[in-house]
Amino acid sequence: MMCQHGYMLFERFRGFLAAVLPAVAATLPIVVAPPASADPCPDIEVIFARGTGADPGLGFVGDALVNSLRSKVGGQSVGTYAVNYPAGWNFDTSAPAGAADASARVQWMADNCPNTKLVLGGMSQGAGVIDLITVDATPPGRFTATPLPPRLADHVAAVAVFGNPLRTMRGGGPLPAMSRTFGPKTIDMCALDDIFCSPGKSLPAHFAYVENGMTDQAADFVAARVR
């Protein structure tokens, strides 16, 4: 008897649910999950190539440049893109790979975020990566330049390089002197006696761009270009 009684109660409860739940559901708002979407295009994007041997990312100079820039551009949003390349000691393959990736990122941003102001930057070998896509012609040495076409160059508001090896190559020099297209948009920072960009022989100077204030100085230059 108890089993039969329990079964009858269960059936009545199931009937109640069948009758009531549709009516309750009809009174509830319909919630639709928003579709997945990419982050909105930033006002500014810094495309930065780290130096030789640095872990993937912007590197310590790139991080410092971006942090300083964010403090100088008011309400403008600043996105970042770390150039995807080996940053290895085989410069013959590493630097061109970085140039290809940086160029592809500029292309992608121009197509998908045409109003974003792009900033190109690099440290040491990373500066060489940026040289390859901004100089007017093939620089001295064994590398072949692949300059950005004018359509893409127009999207670049500023260029900032640090410890640039192009400065010490025979026939080379600071990037602004090597590029008619990007010269007025470019700041090329070389610390006093930096072994890789000056006649000096100081290795510590090559790693002093944050402490010596040059990343902040470069951020001032870039901020004036993107305001």
> How confident is the model over 50-108, as pLDDT tens digits?
999 999 999 999 999 999 999 999 999 999 999 999 999 999 999 999 999 999 999 99
Residue carrying the six token digits 């928003």:
34
How many domains, the chain?
1
| CATH code assigned at 70 | 3.40.50.1820
Give the pLDDT confidence score for residue 138 in this predicted structure. Answer: 75
- Whether 147 is in a domain gets the answer yes
Q: Is residue 17 part of a domain?
A: no
**pTM (global) more than 0.85:** no
In a domain, 30, yes or no: no
pLDDT-derived band at 144 (thresholds 50, 70, 90) equals confident
Contact 227, 44 (CB under 8 A): no
Does any domain span residue 208?
Answer: yes
Select from 148, 72, 151, 160 the least CA-distant residue to 114.
151
In a domain, 104, yes or no: yes
Q: Distance from first CA to last CA of the chain, Å, rounded?
A: 84
pLDDT at 160 over 50: yes
Quick one: angle between helices 59-70 and 214-226, nearest 10? 50
Catalytic residues: 124, 194, 206
Q: Is residue 146 part of a domain?
A: yes
Looking at the domain assignment, is residue 71 inside a domain?
A: yes
CB of 130 closer than 8 Å to CB of 49: yes
Beta bridge partners of 46: 80, 119
Write out the residue range of the structural domain in which residue 74 sits: 44-226
- Answer whether residue 13 is part of any domain: no
